Structure 1
Amino acid sequence: MIDKRTIFEIHRLKHLGWSERKIARHLRIDRSSVKKYVGDPVAAQKRSNRASKLDPYRDQIKSLLDEDPTVSAPVVLQYLIKDGFDGKVTIVRDYLRQLRGKRKQRIAYIRFESAPGEQMQIDWGHFGSLPYGDTRRKLYALVVIEAFSRMLYVRFTHSQKQDALHDGLLQAFIRFGGCPKKLVVDNMATAVIERVGPMVRFNDAFLDFLRHFAIEPIACTPGAPYEKGKVESGVKYLRRNFMSLRSFADLDDVQHQALNWLDTVANVRIHQTTGQRPVDRFEKVKLHPLPDLLPDVRETQSLLVHKDFAVRFDGNTYTAPPWAIGKTVAVKADPAVVSLYLNDKRIAVHPRCWDRKKRIETPSHRQQVKKLRKKLMHDRQVATLMSLGSVAVDYLNGLLDAGQPIRKQVKRLLVLKDKYGAEALVYALTKSMAHKAFGADYVENIVHQEMAPKNDHPPVRLKNEDLNQIRLNQPSLAEYDTHALKERRK
């Protein structure tokens, strides 16, 4: 019912010479209402104040509207039914329209229908973001609809990259139990690279993906969204019916709720256009069977395993076995798992973390590092270097933390000891550690600049290479001092 202030505005604008159409557009009411109240200003008072089924629920509806201004009538109806409301969605829709003061836009377009299994349409929707610790990740949904039945599938992601598109389509085909003959897309960069008039150049990776399923891609004409109007409506329906008044813990929770919503609401409702349930019409659909070997649609990158035995991926670090340090591995990730491969062999698996600046570590990888340290400490060459004292031990630990090849580094350091002497090497190790420079190159540079070689000739090389590797540990002079003091006391 229009209030008296609105009636006053209708007559005021009419006296200014405004047309009824312009008044209706300005006040956001029906043109018929403007005509009615221009002819009879007291028409509102003639309406009977009959009780409405909606009266006990008006405050609840206002509360839901305050919580989510975009909430749709079917969602509100779901909440009201729980509290005993037995009315239809029409009265709820009329009341929401009254509260919002909006009117529908009427756009003329040509409707067309596809044969069962002939066509699917896809489109992306953006639905805010999800928090992970101090990080927020944007939330997207790939909506896929089978055109004949209006059967929906939704895949939520934190990305619209190429692999996310392929993963969403593959999951949709698996869910539907097959693939269509044609796939209608808009001009997204992951599908269409270039368009000149009717000539379309599709994304090579997209075509390579579709090749496995023998699907023909069809790109919509720019500025003609009605060409994929079914999926456009699907995105709007998802936004208004599913997203309203819901909360989510993470990406997995969103997807789980979405699949439940598809099974219990979206695909079993009476569709306004067809007058049938999508799940019933889908029984007439015969899709092409999926190939025996499905394509690998995971996000893939080639990354270096750093000195901390981990790779840097999507804002986080994921560990690898320590023996892979310095090697380039293939990182393959889906929304749930991050896997590391070396020469097509999987060497590590981690749960995917959507937070950022986190280290995801497998306990066995750290244990392998500890075992490696223990093994190296029992090496004869390493023991010789450690005999130089605590400085050498600390430097060895620094080399291990830096991921340096220990045996190679120790061999070079012992050569410097033979050439410049133990004292010069300890001095260089101390100075190198002060600058956190771990490596034989730094030590060699220091002793070369500041020390003179103690020996002008290299040691004699024997034919037996094992004998050349024999080294004597640095003797501790403190033991001799202790023995000398004992002899004096006697």
Structure 2
Amino acid sequence: MLTWGEDVEVHALRARGWSISAIARHTGRDRKTVRAYLNGERQPGQRARAEDPFTPFVEYVSARLVEDPHLWALTLFDELAPLGFTASYQTLTREIRTRKLRPVCTACASAVDRVNGIIEHPAGEETQWDWLDLPNPPASWGWGSMAHLLVGSLAHSGRWRAVLAPSMEQARLVDGLDRVSRALGGATKVWRFDRMATVCHPDSGKVTASFAAVAKHYGVSVAICPPRAGHRKGVVEKVNHTAAQRCWRTLPDDATPESAQAVFDQFAATRGDTRMRPGPGGKSTVATLAAAEPLRPVPAPFPALLRDERVVSRQALIAYRGNRYSVSPELVGTTVEVTRRLDAAVVDVVTTSSTGRQITIARHRLAADGAGAVIRDDGHVIALEAAVLAASTSGGRPHRRKERIPPGPAAQAAAAVLRGDTSDIADTGAPVVDLTTYERLATGRNTLT
């Protein structure tokens, strides 16, 4: 940066005919600096501004906030990191604020404030549960217009885990309770729910007989929130918001249920467990607080029965939780039912007979979810090979893509007719009608008369 006096001297020397190199040597400045001041590109007393590192990302940030005015800045920060954004989260929020990149959502301009109370949650005392509705799952899942996420959160430490499910039926609830409890590291003394029909009677809040058996099995007490009192389980309600905004909202269309589940698991274990929370000895991470909670071991899974319908593929396989299991090749293209008891390590394939009786047609050991394993029974493999060989021999040799197949006699005859040339038509033995014979007979008849 040149001072006003140096700028005057530089211009005076230039007016006397000095070269830029001579002026730079005389003043001890860089030639590019001297040239910039002489050309009016820089002003004395003002430092050259460095290139704004946020400028390359303005277009993307603007487009995302126009598409979704409620997109969290933290979610946007997660998206920008793989794109080369190296600045801090505070820089991102400051740029969004100063550049006014976030548009105003007129539909949500008004908000309602309410007073919230603080509820004490002793360590190891309570787990809060809630179903989160997730609209518009990928069409390839076959789950319809809504997916469901069972979220469980330790009320004291805030650690949470979640399980995706196609429905909220009681068997899915029990499966989710067991899987989430194991992921959390154990069971607390109390499980808190809102008034969901699979747990209690919504009108009275009394626990149903079917779920009472589940609670006895896991040795927990059941606490039901009063009507319209969501703040009673505010920990899991906040987790629902986070899971929807930072995981589900940006889930790609080509995701599978297993890959989506992995997204929730990874986010909860990395971002969720590393949050800082105030504790008895000062601030510590969620993982540290959760490790100190006195949780009880989770018993064997409750024997609930899960049922899912699947279509048998052309390879005589059915897809189930990220793996494929074989069935008899006679069932290719049909719909079968996959059943699984939560306390068993096997999965059954069931079909319904003409009399309405269900028959188990296959039983396989259960592979880990999302492992991509193909479990085949030896008998199914032999039957499939026999069916493939029978189809190949009965239908003749299949045509090769580059096989030479010239026009045959039938095609050549048809082409000759189209050209009006019948001399090259091969004799097929069929009688040919010659009209000249009829002409001679007609001429003779006219002569006799």
Q: Tell me the TM-score normalized by structure 2.
A: 0.55
What is the aligned partner in structure 2 of residue 128 from structure 1?
A: 135
What is the aligned partner in structure 2 of residue 183 from structure 1?
A: 191
What is the aligned partner in structure 1 of residue 210 from structure 2?
A: 205
Report the alpha carbon displacement of residue 164 of structure 1 after superposing the two structures with TM.
Answer: 0.9
Calculate the aligned-residue CA RMSD, in Å.
4.5
- 2:295 aligned with 1:287: yes
What is the aligned partner in structure 1 of residue 304 from structure 2?
A: 297
Q: Partner amino acid for 1:83?
A: F
Among candidates 253, 261, 264, match of residue 255 of structure 1 = 261
Contact 1:120 1:145 in 2 (8 A): yes
Report the alpha carbon displacement of residue 204 of structure 1 after superposing the two structures with TM.
Answer: 2.1
Contact 2:65 2:102 in 1 (8 A): no
Deviations 1:19-72 (A, max 9, x none): xxxxxxxxxxxxxxxxxxxxxxxxxxxxxxxx9986664322112224444321
Report the alpha carbon displacement of residue 180 of structure 1 after superposing the two structures with TM.
Answer: 0.6
What is the aligned partner in structure 1 of residue 274 from structure 2?
A: 268
Specify whether residues 254 and 93 from structure 1 end up closer, same or farther in structure 2 by C-alpha distance, changes over 3 A only: same
Report the alpha carbon displacement of residue 365 of structure 1 after superposing the two structures with TM.
Answer: 4.5
Specify whether residues 265 and 104 from structure 1 end up closer, same or farther in structure 2 by C-alpha distance, changes over 3 A only: farther
Contact 2:277 2:285 in 1 (8 A): yes
What is the aligned partner in structure 1 of residue 104 from structure 2?
A: 100
Specify whether residues 344 and 212 from structure 1 end up closer, same or farther in structure 2 by C-alpha distance, changes over 3 A only: farther
- 2:85 aligned with 1:83: yes
What is the aligned partner in structure 2 of residue 414 from structure 1?
A: none
The SS at the match of 1:100 is coil
- 2:157 aligned with 1:145: no
| Cα separation, 1, equivalents of 2:135 and 2:341 | 21
| Cα separation, 2, equivalents of 1:72 and 1:145 | 22
| Cα separation, 2, equivalents of 1:338 and 1:332 | 6
Specify whether residues 127 and 93 from structure 1 end up closer, same or farther in structure 2 by C-alpha distance, changes over 3 A only: farther
Q: Partner amino acid for 2:133?
A: H
| Cα separation, 1, equivalents of 2:120 and 2:366 | 43
Contact 2:136 2:147 in 1 (8 A): yes
Contact 2:327 2:361 in 1 (8 A): no
| Cα separation, 1, equivalents of 2:296 and 2:361 | 33
**Fraction of identical pairs, as percent:** 20
What is the aligned partner in structure 2 of residue 364 from structure 1?
A: 379
- 2:72 aligned with 1:72: yes
What is the aligned partner in structure 2 of residue 349 from structure 1?
A: 364
Report the alpha carbon displacement of residue 348 of structure 1 after superposing the two structures with TM.
Answer: 2.2
The SS at the match of 2:364 is strand
Contact 2:151 2:240 in 1 (8 A): yes
| Cα separation, 2, equivalents of 1:278 and 1:72 | 21
What is the aligned partner in structure 1 of residue 121 from structure 2?
A: 114
Q: Partner amino acid for 1:178?
A: G
| Cα separation, 1, equivalents of 2:251 and 2:104 | 21
Deviations 1:335-382 (A, max 9, x none): 998414899999423999xxxxxxx997834856999xxxxxxxxxxx
What is the aligned partner in structure 2 of residue 478 from structure 1?
A: none
What is the aligned partner in structure 2 of residue 228 from structure 1?
A: 233
Q: Partner amino acid for 1:73?
A: A
Contact 1:340 1:346 in 2 (8 A): yes
Q: Partner amino acid for 1:212?
A: H
Specify whether residues 93 and 235 from structure 1 end up closer, same or farther in structure 2 by C-alpha distance, changes over 3 A only: farther
What is the aligned partner in structure 2 of residue 277 from structure 1?
A: 285
Among candidates 164, 176, 179, match of residue 168 of structure 1 = 176
Specify whether residues 213 and 87 from structure 1 end up closer, same or farther in structure 2 by C-alpha distance, changes over 3 A only: closer
Number of aligned residue pairs: give it.
296
Deviations 1:241-286 (A, max 9, x none): 2223231521111111211111221221235999642112112211
Contact 1:73 1:92 in 2 (8 A): no
| Cα separation, 1, equivalents of 2:115 and 2:55 | 36
Q: Which runs of 5+ in 2 are unaligned?
A: 1-50, 309-315, 330-335, 352-357, 368-374, 387-449
The SS at the match of 1:130 is coil
The SS at the match of 1:99 is coil
Specify whether residues 75 and 125 from structure 1 end up closer, same or farther in structure 2 by C-alpha distance, changes over 3 A only: same
Specify whether residues 75 and 369 from structure 1 end up closer, same or farther in structure 2 by C-alpha distance, changes over 3 A only: closer
The SS at the match of 1:127 is strand
Contact 2:66 2:102 in 1 (8 A): no
Specify whether residues 124 and 93 from structure 1 end up closer, same or farther in structure 2 by C-alpha distance, changes over 3 A only: farther
Contact 1:321 1:348 in 2 (8 A): no
| Cα separation, 1, equivalents of 2:102 and 2:263 | 31
Report the alpha carbon displacement of residue 297 of structure 1 after superposing the two structures with TM.
Answer: 3.4
Q: Which runs of 5+ in 1 are unaligned?
A: 1-50, 302-308, 323-328, 353-359, 372-490
Specify whether residues 83 and 129 from structure 1 end up closer, same or farther in structure 2 by C-alpha distance, changes over 3 A only: same
Q: Tell me the TM-score normalized by structure 1.
A: 0.51
Contact 2:143 2:166 in 1 (8 A): no
| Cα separation, 2, equivalents of 1:130 and 1:99 | 27
| Cα separation, 2, equivalents of 1:319 and 1:279 | 41
